[in-house]
Amino acid sequence: MEHVGETVRAERVVRWEGRARSQRDDRVAVEEPLEIRVGSQTLAVTMRTPGHDFDLAAGWLVTEGIVREPGEIVRLEHCREVRSPEEEGNVVIARTTAPSQSHLERARRLLVTSSSCGLCGKGSIESVRGHFPPVGGSSRVAASVLLDLPETLRSAQPGFGQTGGLHAAGLFTLSGELLAAREDIGRHNAVDKVIGHFFRRGNFPLPDSILLVSGRASFEILQKALAAGIPWVAAVSAPSSLAVELARSSGIALAGFLREGSFNLYSGEERLDADRARAATE
């Protein structure tokens, strides 16, 4: 059974409004480390919000190319032999069919990640470019569908509603139906949780789908979408230059600043339903 940690915590704060001072309870998003192991080998430590840890571990393993098929993960479990109380529920062990040593060595180079950035280093970036094939297919989406996505995702963010401090990722059908949403203090963790959710259930890759993230679209978000075969990525904030470059070279449609009834399309115009897009603007 998966351990479910505390995701939101009450904290006593001093509130200042103008010159008035008061004490009150506030709710903050929980941030704790998660160690991901394959067998006895530690491959990553990421700062995350507890919850859906097995999905997070599975998503990380597939988006880093350590596993490719759902059947390669035999079992996920929390470590029963923790070295300290702080590790309780914060170490996930993946029992897998043997990954190649090169994949394990690559993963070790990404050993420590943070809640805001999970991939660093020139060697890592160069390896990602050739690690996954471009996204194929001819998936098309209407502009009106994209415009409705942020509100749908926002309604599936209870943790953000309490704290204002959690990112979200949602996977949608091309017609705008929400398939799954996850929250985390790190946007890349939220994406891994969504991808891992489907990977663990054998629904992989993920063609004919749209990935929406609540913050910016970084290079790593696009890399994860590429690993999962997702043809559409949308973000309510800005993309980075490397994200745009990777989207264009990988056949992924990338929309940014998706909010308040508008968006910028940075790549994949051929994946936008032009007729329906025109109708949406009339």
The CATH number assigned to the domain holding 265 equals 3.40.140.10
Q: What is the mean pLDDT of residues 108-118?
A: 54
94 and 159 fall within a common domain: no
Q: Is residue 201 part of a domain?
A: yes
Q: Is residue 198 part of a domain?
A: yes
Q: Is residue 12 part of a domain?
A: no
pLDDT of 118 reads 52
Q: What is the mean pLDDT of residues 121-138?
A: 69
Dist. CA 2–CA 51, nearest whole Å: 9
Contact 201, 52 (CB under 8 A): no
124 and 191 fall within a common domain: no
Dist. CA 129–CA 55, nearest whole Å: 24
Q: Which of 129, 152, 176 is the last residue of a domain?
A: 129
Contact 208, 200 (CB under 8 A): no
Q: Which of 129, 159, 188 is the last residue of a domain?
A: 129
Q: What is the mean pLDDT of residues 20-35?
A: 94
Dist. CA 232–CA 252, nearest whole Å: 6
Summary mean pLDDT of the chain? 88
Under the banding of pLDDT at 50, 70 and 90, the label for residue 122 is very low
Q: What is the mean pLDDT of residues 67-87?
A: 86
163 and 242 fall within a common domain: yes
Q: Is residue 20 part of a domain?
A: no
Q: Is residue 267 part of a domain?
A: yes
Q: Which of 74, 104, 129 is the last residue of a domain?
A: 129
119 and 48 fall within a common domain: yes
pLDDT of 121 reads 46
pTM for the whole structure: 0.88
59 and 175 fall within a common domain: no
Q: How many domains does the chain have?
A: 2
59 and 179 fall within a common domain: no
Dist. CA 44–CA 46, nearest whole Å: 6
Q: What is the span of the domain harbouring residue 80?
A: 32-129
Under the banding of pLDDT at 50, 70 and 90, the label for residue 199 is very high
Active site residues: 117
122 and 183 fall within a common domain: no
225 and 148 fall within a common domain: yes
Q: Is residue 72 part of a domain?
A: yes
Q: Which two tokens stand for residue 207?
A: 């063609």
Instruction: List Cα–Cα distances, 249 to 64, 96, 264, in angstroms.
Output: 19, 31, 18
The domain spanning residue 92 has which CATH number? 3.10.20.10
Torsion over CA: 69, 74, 78, 79 (sign): negative
